[in-house]
């Protein structure tokens, strides 16, 4: 399967009194209709990776490496980025309120995107807006189209933000923690909606999340990030059932389970600040398996059975860290 999106040796740096590197040499691929989840603790570089791919970094941010969409390089090409945003890649952000313009009606915002993406008339754009609001299962989409963002509940705003990302019929949907501000019941409904829309519209999905339950139910592949790098990557069933990296195993062990009576596990210590990484293995200071080699030599991603892992001493299948 040829890659729809190819990320090669991507780095993200932020200028300042002390320059900071948030993403350090990440390489990933995403095929048509494929669903890839990126997981990891806050500060691991997940969100900055998505923003770099779409040219949406903060003003002091700089991305280097390669991001190719359908074979066309995006980094450093403002026209290519402008062309791919919306029509090639749709983006659902963490905060729906930040995606929607507060002083414009919902329908007008969607209609504007539809007319720009397809060249249709304003009337057709309004019809497309109402149709898409119905697709994201908003009751009475015609009435919703006439409202302002502040008149909607959090769950309704998130659905409107998803409609805004999808109205140009993108090939890939980027979803960055799309249910962070929602209660558990609404979260499940929104995630089911995203899965359904990806299937119906034939989209690929690149999902950033910290919720491994979401990964299990929504993704085909998972990449685990730590301190700006991918430390394990493979099929969801393989990584979640038989993690090879101690960090991935620690994340899974920390997930509470109702069917198991045991003390809740945790990973000792804290992740390093972006760019303030230890020498050798970046997870080394928190790893119970570390040895001298781990402090002296940084491990690179290599094949380990059916997944790729960046660890000098990866776990055997079923082994505890």
What is the gyration radius of the CA atoms in the chain, in angstroms? 21
Location of structure tokens 């190819």: 6
Check residue 81 and report its DSSP letter.
H
Is 321 a residue whose pLDDT tops 80?
no
**What CA–CA distance (Å, rounded) separates 118 from 40?**
37
Please tell me the least confidently modeled range out of 33-37, 81-85, 107-111, 179-183. 179-183
Name the pLDDT band for 113 (thresholds 50, 70, 90): very high
Confidence of residue 1 (pLDDT cuts 50, 70, 90): low
Residues 52 and 151: their CA atoms lie apart, in Å, by: 32
Helix or strand run (H / E) with residue 112: helix 106-118
The strand pairing partners of 23, in sequence order, are: 12
Over range 185-203, report the average pLDDT. 85
Whether 144 shows a pLDDT value over 80: the answer reads yes
Q: How far apart are CA 76 and CA 241, in angstroms?
A: 40
pTM score, two decimals?
A: 0.91
For the chain, what are the domain ranges? 5-39+56-219, 229-258+274-321
Contact predicate 66/11, CB 8 Å: no
Adjacent-strand bridge partners of 221: 36, 235
Give mean pLDDT, residues 48-76: 95
| Region 106-126 average pLDDT | 91
Q: What share of the chain in percent tops pLDDT 90?
A: 61
pLDDT beyond 80 at 95: no
Query: Per-residue DSSP letters for 23-43?
Result: EEEEEEEE-TT-EEEEE--TT
pLDDT tens by residue, 224-267 = 999 999 999 999 999 999 999 999 999 988 877 766 666 778 88
**CB neighbour burial string for 300-314, b if at least 16 within 10 angstroms, e if fewer:** ebeebeebbbbbbeb
Give pLDDT, residue 279: 92
Tell me the average pLDDT across 188-212.
88
Asked if pLDDT for residue 181 goes beyond 70, the answer is no
pLDDT above 70 coverage of the chain, percent: 96
**pLDDT attached to residue 254:** 82
**If we measure between CA atoms, which residue out of 142, 160, 56, 57 comes closest to residue 102?**
160
pLDDT at 155 over 90: no
Asked if 210 contacts 40 with a C-beta cutoff of 8 angstroms, the reply is yes
Q: What average pLDDT does the chain have? A: 90
**Which pLDDT belongs to residue 201?**
87
Taking the domain 5-39+56-219, which CATH number applies? 3.40.50.300
Give the residue-averaged pLDDT of 277-286: 94
- Which two three-digit tokens encode residue 129? 């807006």
The mean per-residue pLDDT over the stretch 13-31 comes to 93
Q: Which of 29, 19, 27, 10 is nearest to 76 (CA)?
A: 10
């Amino acid at each position: 399967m040829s890659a729809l999106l190819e990320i090669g040796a991507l780095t993200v740096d932020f200028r300042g009194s002390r320059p900071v590197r948030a993403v350090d040499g990440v390489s990933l691929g995403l095929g048509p209709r494929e669903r890839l989840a990126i997981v990891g603790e806050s500060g691991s570089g997940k969100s900055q990776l998505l923003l770099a791919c779409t040219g949406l970094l903060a003003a002091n941010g700089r991305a280097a490496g390669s991001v190719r969409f359908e074979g066309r390089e995006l980094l450093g090409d403002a026209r290519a980025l402008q062309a791919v945003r919306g029509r090639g890649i749709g983006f659902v952000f963490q905060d729906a309120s930040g995606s929607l313009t507060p002083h414009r009606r919902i329908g007008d915002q969607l209609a504007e995107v539809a007319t720009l993406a397809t060249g249709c008339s304003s009337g057709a754009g309004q019809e497309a807006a109402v149709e898409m609001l119905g697709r994201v299962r908003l009751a009475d989409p015609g009435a919703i189209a006439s409202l302002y963002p502040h008149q909607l509940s959090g769950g309704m705003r998130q659905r409107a933000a998803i409609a805004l990302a999808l109205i140009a019929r993108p090939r890939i949907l980027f979803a960055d923690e799309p249910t962070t501000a929602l209660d558990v019941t609404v979260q499940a409904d929104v995630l089911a909606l995203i899965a359904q829309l990806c299937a119906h519209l034939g989209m690929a999905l690149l999902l950033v999340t910290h919720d491994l339950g979401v990964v299990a139910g929504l993704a085909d592949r998972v990449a685990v990030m730590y301190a700006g790098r991918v430390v394990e990557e493979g099929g969801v069933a393989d990584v979640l059932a038989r993690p090879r990296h101690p960090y991935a195993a620690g994340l899974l062990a920390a997930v509470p389970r109702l069917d198991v009576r045991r003390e809740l596990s945790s990973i000792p210590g804290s992740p390093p600040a972006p760019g303030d990484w230890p020498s050798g293995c970046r997870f080394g200071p928190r790893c119970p398996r570390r040895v001298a080699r781990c402090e002296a030599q940084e491990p690179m991603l290599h094949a380990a059975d059916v997944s790729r892992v960046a660890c000098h001493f990866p776990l055997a299948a079923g082994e505890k860290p």
